Chains A and B, each alone.
Chain A
Amino acid sequence: MAETATREFLHNLHDLPQTVKDACFRLGKTPESEREESQATFHNLFLHIHSVRVHVRTLKPTLTFGLGLMATASFIITLITGMLLMVYYKPSTDLAYQSIKDIHFTVSTGRFIRNIHRWSAQLMVLTVLLHMARVFFTASYKKPREFNWLVGLGLLIITLALSFTGYLLPWDQLAYWAITIGSNIANSPREFTDAIGITKFFDPGGFQKRLLLGANYVGQDALIRFYVLHVFVLPLALVTLMGVHFWRIRKDGGLAKPEDPMGGLAEWGGERRTVFQPLATKTYGLMALVKGKRPPVNRGPENTVMSWPHLFWAELSVFMVTVAVTLVLAFYSDAPLKELANAAIPENPAKAPWYFLGIQELVSYSAFTGGLLIPVIVVVGLALIPFLDRRPGGEGTWFGTKSERPIFWQSFFFALAVTVGMLAFTVNYGWLRNWFPNIHQLWIIAINPGSLLVVIFAAWSLFVLKRKDSVRLAAVSLFTCFLVGFTLLTYLATVHRGPNWHFYWWPSQWPVH
């Protein structure tokens, strides 16, 4: 008896690696059949958000360039490095700067971790913006994906907010003055209320600024507020919305695709047969109700491949590419850290983070128009796209509908010419205030380079709408104009704006102060 128990114990001990592995992984081995590959997918918490099979187009690199996944990957990188930084960071105006210096100098590889955090955050903002452009130009917001477009817009705003709140935490000159500028942008409605003289009774700008900073200036209250937002509130909101975003991708039928992506034919048993075409909303859940027609007999399957391993190879590779890019950038380029924040020594020029520099350029024309009106118009306009452009067509294809590509290029060059012309004119000749020093501020709020650009772009879009008789083409022209304008304004403010917001060809020409 005792002998058998000992033997059993030794046997179990011998099998321990295998039994632990079996316990962890439900399938317990490398899948060998399509059935096991399906199980590998839907028996795993992290993978089961994917469908078991995906359309081959999903794996085409040029369809999405993996941008959404890159944004997710950079978020995961910031999350991990952020938690490491939190261990050392002290959110107090007295200690914050020194704690960043300590991370930089004495924490083992702390400098590298902070660089990774910084670079992946920048990469996240960039990829989120590009992802939005991809979704737009492949018309992937159309029914039934309207809601996910809105969720994506929310994610964009949270991403910007995350990056912005993180900007203050090092408590150096760069942070201090960038947030000062940012909070003044929040204060911009005051330009309008001042102009019509109601600030005393109704001051939304001042309210927004105080809400943001917890005081009238950037200080300890602002720092702790930004910290809480940065490490808790916003990441939580982002993760939640990301969950919704992913879940909706799945529920809305995966990546958007045209009705008959491959001419309606598929390989099946060595011959080409008509494709079995489910509805766009089809899901693969066993218990899910399949709406619409029943699967027709005598038709081939879709052009699908197993998610395991193909999709997961693709996703893992995009993830690792993001990691690799971030590491290389972080290795060679340090995250900036200027002198300790000092309210007595203003940075000149004080610049907001780069993704807000387009807005700062507009604010330099008119605070109200540039800081509130135009951003609101842009966000509302973006949100309305899927509800105003409802005619199906072109889903999942770059410039999928008729004459979309020519319209894109026409709008591109139109917006390029108009924006460059407008900026060059403003830089050379100034604006209303330079010509009529006593003009009422309301005129400048109404008529400034920013508002004129919006009007011209809108007029162009209406022109396309009339001429081409297509809402999609009007949307394409407007979105293209927005992208070009945003990029050029950001570029101008980043490279060519120097001390006192004057124009310089290169930063090397700035007067040294």
Chain B
Amino acid sequence: MKDPSRIYRWLLLVASVVTVVYLVGAAVHENYLAQWKTVQREYRDILRQKATDDRGRELLAKFRVEMKQATIPALGSVDRCVTCHNGIDDPRMTEVEQPHRTHPGHILDKHPVDRFGCTVCHHGQGAAMTFREAKADDVFWDYPLLPPEMTEATCVTCHDGEKLPPEQIPLLTAGMELYRERSCGSCHKLGGRGGALGPALDNEGAKTKHQLIMTSLKPPHTTWNWQLAHFRDPGGVVPDSLMRNPTVTRREALALTVYMLSQWKRDVPESYLAPDKIEQKYRALHPTPLTGEQVYRQYCTACHGNGTYTRWDKKFARFVPAIRGVSLVSTASREYLQTNIEQGRPGTQMPGWGPHAGGLLPEEVTSVIEYLRASAPAAPSMTALTLRGDANRGLSLFLRNCAGCHGMNGRSGIAPEIGNPIFQQAASDEFIVRTIRNGRIGTAMPAFQRPEAPALGDQDIADVLAYLRTLTGHKSQKAMAQNNTPAPPAGGRP
């Protein structure tokens, strides 16, 4: 009988050889061939070359090939970057190749590695022991290493961006300026202030790549790449985006990207905060009101432009009123403007801007009204209206003359909503009558009582007014009175 276990002995031999080979291989691979050990041996050679004085010899003698890390419990970080970047605090290493080179600038003087670590500024995976995994742009890690030029985004973790010298944070400063200048706040909220058409941007920098739509983005799929592409062409990155193309240069897009990356409400212990950051936090709780013009520039211009002409908005297929136009300003009362600004215009893209909605301070609403009204003198008050209108007759006049632009029932047309409760509440009879008579200069609203061709007589206008007043029933007015903060207007968010 032939040996029944012969095949097994061969199998055992082969399997055991494979086992031993792979165990030894893994031990060598994981311990002796580790990337960081090679790097440190290189660095020791550099130290040896530079050991020309006592200090240099001492540094060489102290050097050990071993894992090095900065453990910062307060920031929740364990940064092992210094395992390979051995020379960052050695001023003699400015000319050597990376990763051995000295940290550029004088930042480490005030931000020693053993107190701050690396990832609080640079992001990346601090725990990693290879460069690929530390850089972390193609491994599973939420915050990969920031490109060098964007690192200034993280300065505001502990500093107030407004108080840092602009030459140290050029892109961030430019980004902040652009954000105000381009009136991004018309649609986006930041710190509770801003419009409601776009998403709030308070934690934009904390987003990971999984929270952004990367489908139409060319690789690499990083968050900053997304921001850059998005500022150049919002609709190309986010299909159905409501955002208008901000038409920015490459550098401006970069500046805005850095500003977005800086938006991260990161919890950092107070001992790490610069005094100006603490002041900034205090100021956020006790804000200084902006001037009327500043408010208008930051929060109105994206939709209303300079406010002297009516703009046709293609995206929303409606006219945006000329709120600094002479006809409106000269006829509208302060109360009318205040109601419209504070509560918005439901049914349109105009959100409310009161303290509980858009976050403007009461003083700021007042000053922006002053700013609007300063653009034209108020017209003298009209003689009292005496005619009683007939709403049924008004309906047929309305359908013939008004519904084409303002829509049936004064809703959902291309022109401003005049059927909605906020308008009804805010607009006085005088304001309505006067607007119908004189029209709105610089807009599509014609005058219906030009001396040469009076389309509507006084009685007709009184009838239309009577009809308009039927559009909001008693019930809805009561509902409005109970609810001063209207919901944000309908319309998709990007």
Chain A residues near B (Cβ < 8 Å) = 56, 59, 61, 98, 101-102, 105-106, 108-109, 111-112, 172-173, 267, 305, 309-311, 313-314, 316-318, 320-321, 323-324, 327-328, 330-331, 337-340, 342, 345, 511-513
Contact = CB atoms under 8 A, between A and B. Distances in A.
Contacts of A512: 214-215, 217, 221
Contacts of A327: 18-19, 22-23, 26
17 contacts: A56-B4, A59-B5, A61-B7, A102-B127, A105-B133, A106-B80, A106-B127, A109-B26, A112-B26, A172-B140, A313-B5, A323-B15, A324-B18, A328-B18, A331-B26, A337-B140, A339-B141
A167 to B, nearest CB: 16
B11 A109 contact: no
A267 B1 CA distance: 9
A314 B31 contact: no
A105 B5 contact: no
Contacts of A342: 142, 208
Given A108-B30, A340-B142, A513 B11 contact: no
A513 B1 contact: no
Interface of B: 1, 3-5, 7-9, 11-12, 14-16, 18-19, 22-23, 25-27, 29-31, 67, 78, 80, 127-129, 133, 140-142, 208, 210-211, 213-215, 217, 221
Given A56-B4, A313-B5, A339-B141, 14 more contacts: A98-B127, A106-B67, A106-B80, A108-B30, A108-B31, A310-B3, A313-B8, A314-B5, A317-B15, A320-B16, A323-B19, A324-B16, A324-B19, A327-B23
Contacts of B23: 327
Closest 5 CB pairs of A and B: A320-B15, A317-B12, A310-B5, A324-B18, A313-B5
A101 B214 CA distance: 27
A313 B80 contact: no
A56 B7 CA distance: 14
Contacts of B29: 331
Contacts of B27: 109
Contact of A328 (B5, B12, B14, B22): B22
B66 to A, nearest CB: 11
Nearest to B7: A61
Given A101-B127, A339-B141, A331 B213 contact: no
Contact of A513 (B15, B25, B215): B215
Contacts of A339: 140-142, 208, 210
Given A321-B11, A324-B18, A340-B142, A105 B80 contact: yes
Of A108, A305, A327, most buried by chain B (CB within 10 Å of CB) is A327
A34 B351 CA distance: 95
A327 B67 CA distance: 26
A267 B142 CA distance: 70
Contact of A105 (B9, B18, B127, B221): B127
A330 B22 CA distance: 9
Given A56-B4, A327-B19, A340-B142, A111 B9 contact: no
Contacts of B140: 172-173, 337-339
A317 B8 contact: yes
Contacts of A317: 8-9, 11-12, 15
